[in-house]
């Protein structure tokens, strides 16, 4: 039996928070899921490749991005411990991907193939329901992000990112953060400087 760091997330435990799983399904997931470690800067998927696996992040930090017509990297998603990560359109349609998935911090990933996942849908009613709940969740998150980029000011986008990923400035570059927020690195620097100045003023007010 393999032993893992207690601080790592576990796929079955995470799924069980959503709904109880029958023992036969739990055993199948234990037997079939693949646990691997990857180092920082590893590319798990590139455009033109088909996403054969969906990843559960036991530990680490990943991002999805594409390269636009001007050759600029555009970050579309960050995922951390306890999240799922895949190129959704490629994985669920089994067609070539249009994006990269990159490891930003050394990670341990637990994955299932498209065939394994669909077998759970067919063999267990809980698997079918669970899949629907998870897909709905990530669809809603994607829609919220699209609305956020169109309606909220850059400062609000930045604050929400910090709320969702408090350690992100230690986990990736300012350029990646700026591209995720849909702003320039210079704009991000101004937002961070303004936020820092406000924190200093607040601290001075408390001391006086």
Long-range contacts of 79-82 (CB under 8 A, 24+ apart): 80/165, 80/171, 81/8, 81/9, 81/57, 82/9, 82/14, 82/57
Q: Is the pLDDT of residue 207 over 70?
A: no
Sequence-distant (6+) residues with CB within 8 A of 126 are 19, 20, 21, 22, 25
Q: pLDDT digit string (tens) for 11-30?
A: 999 998 888 999 999 999 99
pLDDT of amino acid 137:
84
Q: pLDDT digit string (tens) for 3-13?
A: 334 578 999 99
Q: What is the DSSP letter of 99?
A: S
Q: pLDDT digit string (tens) for 61-113?
A: 999 999 999 999 999 999 999 999 999 999 999 999 999 999 999 999 999 99
Question: Which contiguous run of DSSP H or E holds residue 38?
Answer: strand 34-38
CA separation for the pair 192, 177 (Å, rounded): 12
* Contact (Cβ atoms closer than 8 angstroms) between residue 9 and residue 58: yes
pLDDT of amino acid 197:
80
CA separation for the pair 197, 208 (Å, rounded): 17
CA separation for the pair 11, 1 (Å, rounded): 17
pLDDT of amino acid 187:
95
pLDDT of amino acid 43:
98
- Partners of 56 in the β-ladder: 84, 110
Top-confidence residue, 3 or 169: 169
* pTM of structure: 0.85
Helix (H, G, I), strand (E, B) or coil at 153: coil
Top-confidence residue, 203 or 153: 153
- A 10 A CB-CB count for 196 gives 10
């Amino acid at each position: 039996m393999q032993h893992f760091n207690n601080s790592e997330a576990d796929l079955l435990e995470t799924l069980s928070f959503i709904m109880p799983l029958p023992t036969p399904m739990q055993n199948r997931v234990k037997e079939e899921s693949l646990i691997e470690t990857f180092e920082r800067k590893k590319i798990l998927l590139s455009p033109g490749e088909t996403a054969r696996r969906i990843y559960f992040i036991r530990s680490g930090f990943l991002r999805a991005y594409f390269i636009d017509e001007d050759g600029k990297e555009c970050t579309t998603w960050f995922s951390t411990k306890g999240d799922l990560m895949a190129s959704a359109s490629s994985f669920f349609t089994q067609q070539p991907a249009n994006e990269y998935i990159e490891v930003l911090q050394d990670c341990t990933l637990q994955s299932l193939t498209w065939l394994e996942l669909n077998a759970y849908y067919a063999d267990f009613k809980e698997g079918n329901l669970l899949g629907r709940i998870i897909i709905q969740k990530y669809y809603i998150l994607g829609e919220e992000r699209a609305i956020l980029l169109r309606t909220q000011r850059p400062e609000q986008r930045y604050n929400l990112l910090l709320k969702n990923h408090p350690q992100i400035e230690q986990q990736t570059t300012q350029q990646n953060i700026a591209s995720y927020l849909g702003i320039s690195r210079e704009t991000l620097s101004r937002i961070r400087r303004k936020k820092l100045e406000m924190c200093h003023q607040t601290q001075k007010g408390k001391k006086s």
